[in-house]
Structure 1
Amino acid sequence: MIKYCFNDKSVSFKLTDLTYTKKLPVNFQISKKFTQIKSTILAIGLVEPILVFIDQTDNSVKILDGHLRVEALKDLGEDKVNCLISTTYDTYTPNKKVNRITIIQIQRMLKEAVRVGVPVEMLCTALNISIESLKSNLSVLKGICPEVIDLFNDKDIPVNTFRTLKKMVPLRQIECANLMVKFENYSTLFSESLYHSSSPEYLIQLPKKKSDSKLANRKAIERLEKEMAQVHFDTQKIKETYGSNSLKLTIIISHIKKLLENPKVFHWLLRNKSDYLNELTEISDINKLT
């Protein structure tokens, strides 16, 4: 019989009654994720309920998942929130298992939303972006050949990588996309290096846009501030899992070393799976999680 990890009904709690289980990053209020959460709540309400655990030892309601949503609700003047109650005190929530959608999938969803009649203004408000940014998001793949879109369909590709690929003819786009897949490197820097190494006949000459330098500098500074806040937020999330990941790695390495010290296992791998033996030997030589 399958045992449920959550109660099947949501329960409303006062925001002041919820206890935080982790420290929020510094300057999280100006991170892109937090501002988007606030905008979404304003536009369509809370999409995902807060996940909590009721600790019987001190009768406290502890937040397992949704700290930023709680902060956003407080900023918006709310006093109550619907919560799902977990039957176990486990901060390793289902969101850790979620596969994040890619930029290609996001664009398809946006196009479908516009097609079925969702007002553009509502989309912009929910996503905390301007109409110009929405139009830019909808045109990310314009100029990208279908073969490249198929190659990148399930990959997390930066928007600027697509913008760099647009400067190339379709044949060169496919060549660069295959190289990115081969090296598992989809960064903007790598795409720009491929662009600059391309022959002139494989490049598309784009018209240069005139812009006010002061306005451009101010926008660049604002963008840099937001990116720095997001980097700090992401770093804090990595710190939270570093200890457990490091422990898991230590246990795995110890187990692999014991396997390789077994003569029968070692010689079987040497005769039948030499490539596996090489990989396991490299893993056993890792000293720590970097």
Structure 2
Amino acid sequence: MRIAISDILPLRQLLPAVVKSVKYAQIAASIAEVGIIEPPVVVRDKVDPDRFHLLDGHIRIDVLAKRGDTEVVCLVAMDDEAFTYNKRVSRIAIIQEHKMILKAIEKGVPEERLARALNVNISSIRHKKSLLDGICPEAIELLKDKHVPINTLSELKKLKSVRQLAAVELMIAMNKYTISYARSLVAATPEAQLVRGTKSVRGLSDQQIELMENESANLDREFRTIEQDYGTDHLDLVLATGYVTRLLGNARIVRHLAQFYPDIFSEFQKLTELQKAA
């Protein structure tokens, strides 16, 4: 439906930090360049049928309002529909973005337009085109839905395929993809498993490097042991989160919580978002 923005009631206010974030700027740039790609999601108010509660798309609505737009096409969730809006929205992973950029370029979209739509420098687009060069297919498959910094991928390129795969498995076990952690894995890698031309960490003796290698191997074994032991706790967490997620999948419950228990509603949202990110 095409709905007046003034008739859409947000369930939460955007924090100043969100408005200043890179994500906000990218969405604003994308809307300016190609318009709304994914319509916001609303549910009709029970008391006033001409008003709507905003389930998903708070940043998009804010950008449109500041642009001076008065209407927007929305998806309308039905009252009896089990619509888990925050479960259906997820940030795009860097490898997925890489594949989308390549597909767009193959279809003839100019690099300049992609840069404007993503609010990045054109050199960033060109860098992302070669993002996965030097990464083995098995590692790419494991990381395809992970939010991995670009610099972390650059560190992985210093490793040979077998060591890349081991490093990625350790990152996933740790749920840690930071550049500093990637550098520590590279530093703990035997020279025979480094790509030719990659220098070992300066200032470390052979004995220190060997110690780091042993510590890394021990850490890997410890985490694999913990993975086997914490299954019961994880199952309890999944069940509890699943229950909260089903609650938020009911439009009437969402509306009731938002109107009368906003603090609890906010915490429920955080719980499901954290579980989704994990």
| TM-score, normalization by structure 2 | 0.64
Whole-Å Cα distance in 1 between the matches of residues 39 and 29 of structure 2? 16
1:42 alignment partner, one of 32, 43, 47: 32
Alignment of 1:253-264 (within 5 A): none
2:188 alignment partner, one of 188, 197, 202: 197
Range that drifts further, 86-95 or 136-145 = 86-95
Runs of 5+ consecutive residues of structure 2 not aligned to the other structure:
200-263, 273-278
The answer to whether 1:242 aligns with 2:275 is no
- Kept after mapping to 2: 8 A contact 1:53/1:89: no
Q: Secondary structure at the match of 2:131?
A: coil
Whole-Å Cα distance in 1 between the matches of residues 82 and 19 of structure 2? 22
Tell me the amino acid that sits aligned with residue 114 of structure 2: L
Tell me the amino acid that sits aligned with residue 186 of structure 2: Y
Residue 134 of structure 2 is matched in structure 1 by 143
- Kept after mapping to 1: 8 A contact 2:26/2:119: yes
Residue 114 of structure 1 is matched in structure 2 by 105
| Per-residue Cα deviation, 1:88-117 (whole angstroms, up to 9, x for no partner) | 299964342345543222211211110111
The answer to whether 1:174 aligns with 2:165 is yes
Whole-Å Cα distance in 1 between the matches of residues 44 and 52 of structure 2? 5
Whole-Å Cα distance in 2 between the matches of residues 62 and 178 of structure 1? 42
Tell me the amino acid that sits aligned with residue 64 of structure 2: L
Alignment of 1:183-194 (within 5 A): 183-194=174-185
Rg (Cα) greater in structure: 1
Runs of 5+ consecutive residues of structure 1 not aligned to the other structure:
1-9, 208-238, 248-290
Tell me the amino acid that sits aligned with residue 267 of structure 2: Y
Residue 152 of structure 2 is matched in structure 1 by 161
Whole-Å Cα distance in 2 between the matches of residues 17 and 28 of structure 1? 23
1:132 alignment partner, one of 106, 113, 123: 123
> Between the two proteins, what is the percent identity of the paired residues?
33
Aligned pair count reads: 207
The answer to whether 1:33 aligns with 2:23 is yes
| TM-score, normalization by structure 1 | 0.61
The answer to whether 1:60 aligns with 2:60 is no
* Residues 243/110 of structure 1: CA separation in 2 closer, same or farther (3 Å cut): closer
